[in-house]
Structure 1
């Protein structure tokens, strides 16, 4: 007896639906989400494990994220989700960040930004505002992937102080006041910590933020 002939129309439709679903999956159609070829497991490298330990000792709140490879060469490997940048200082709008970058960012916040806020602005830092971290895209005007596509870059746009003042790169980079001195000081400090630092003096695309990433070898503009 041919069992397939004996199947009811409902069963045959169910089987065909299953075959169609597998075919669509093989073509990369997955409900509008960017397909992942990674394991989805949190399997950090030895360097990342050491980084996690250093971040915890520094009082940074974070959650490790699964390693993932995405289409187009984008990925998030040894990445975390930062909840604050240490000792209660908030950070806004951050997605996945590679731990090595996050560690440098937390140290820059603690030993450069907070100290500069006290020195130049006579107030405490309470929040750093960013324009994000991970984004699967090319460098503007080029065919090369941005470091954002590897969760290896952060764009910083502003700072909020305990006295209520809001310092922004857009308004205060050339303000000629203490706010400008503050921004210039922390920009220079960043150049000693990150592989690449770009700001308003680099090009028009960076008029409103500082770009930090761990590529390069001390490129600072």
Structure 2
């Protein structure tokens, strides 16, 4: 029992030290987006606390949608979906990003609905990561992001048992490829191992997604993700582990 108590105390102390370090860092840099208690602004630069704040929006969809509107992001609120006999699946307040407004990149297919935190993170990913990375790598903007979908009532990896995937509640989106204004296509499956601009671009946008999504899985994770980036907003708490592979 003593060993367990010592381990618990050590974990609490470590968590407090990490929090204190983040607070001090944010205060010294003078950037509110680095501090966990400041309000989230989708139009602000990405900070140390931005990803946590985005994931936490899952507990407050009205606030999430208000932030989308404040940032000029157009969306459609989708009706609830609760499949019979599948208590672990479905959603009550999914959001579909629509063309126009402050966003310039289309999603293909366009009719995808996700949780609001995923939609908010997608907007910030476009502005802060995807667009500048494409400009640096190709001198062209990305005009379309291709995906494999969001909602899918299934367990992780399609297994018959075990935990349900974040896709089961539309809290994830699988990104397959990017299309530039000049027609160039950069795909995860075809260009991840490219040693030139396409490969560098894919790694840059994957790494940038890690600051905005709770979980980012790429071909570096396992063979099941060889052809896409899995992006989700599973909120595991302020001091929890986040996945970025």
Report if TM-score (shorter chain) is over 0.5.
yes
Per the alignment, residue 144 of structure 1 pairs with 163
Q: Secondary structure at the match of 1:174?
A: coil
Per-residue Cα deviation, 1:41-85 (whole angstroms, up to 9, x for no partner)? xxxx98211111211233322110123332322011321122248
Report deviation, 1:96.
Answer: 2.1
Per the normalisation by structure 1, the TM-score is 0.75
Work out whether residues 131 and 157 of structure 1, in 8 Å CA contact, stay in contact via their aligned partners in 2: yes
* TM-score, scaled to structure 2: 0.68
Task: Select which of 67, 82, 105 maps to 1:89.
Answer: 105
Q: Secondary structure at the match of 1:97?
A: coil
Say if 1:192 and 1:218, in contact at 8 Å, map to a contact too: no
- The answer to whether 1:164 aligns with 2:188 is no
Alignment pair present for 1:126 and 2:132? no
**CA separation of 1:46 and 1:143: change in aligned 2, threshold 3 A:** closer
Would you say the 8 A contact 1:76–1:96 is kept in 2?
Answer: no
Which structure would you say has the larger Rg? 1
User: What's the counterpart of residue 51 of structure 1?
Assistant: 64
Task: Kindly state the Cα deviation for residue 174 of structure 1 after the two structures are TM-superposed.
Answer: 0.7
- From 73, 92, 116, the counterpart of 1:99: 116
1:172 offset after TM fit, Å? 0.9
Q: Is the 8 A contact 2:96 2:119 kept in 1?
A: no
Map Cα deviations across residues 140-191 of structure 1 (whole Å, 9 max, x no partner): 1453211000010000000011111001001111110011111101101111
User: What is the SS of the residue equivalent to 1:158?
Assistant: strand
5+ residue gaps, structure 2, are 1-57
Partner Cα distance (1:60, 1:84) in 2: 9
How big is the alpha-carbon RMSD for the aligned residues of Structure 1 and Structure 2? 1.8
- Secondary structure of 2:176 counterpart: strand
Aligned to 2:213: 194
Residue matched to 2:93: 78
Change (3 A) 1:144 1:126: same
Gaps of 5+ in 1: 1-44
| Runs of 4+ residues deviating >3 angstroms | none
1:92-132 Cα shifts (integer Å, max 9, x gaps) = 12522000111011111111000100011111111111110
Q: How many residues align?
A: 177
Highest RCO, 1 vs 2 (Cα 8 Å, sep ≥ 6): 2
Q: Which residue of 1 aligns with 2:29?
A: none
Which residue does the alignment assign to 2:243?
Answer: 219
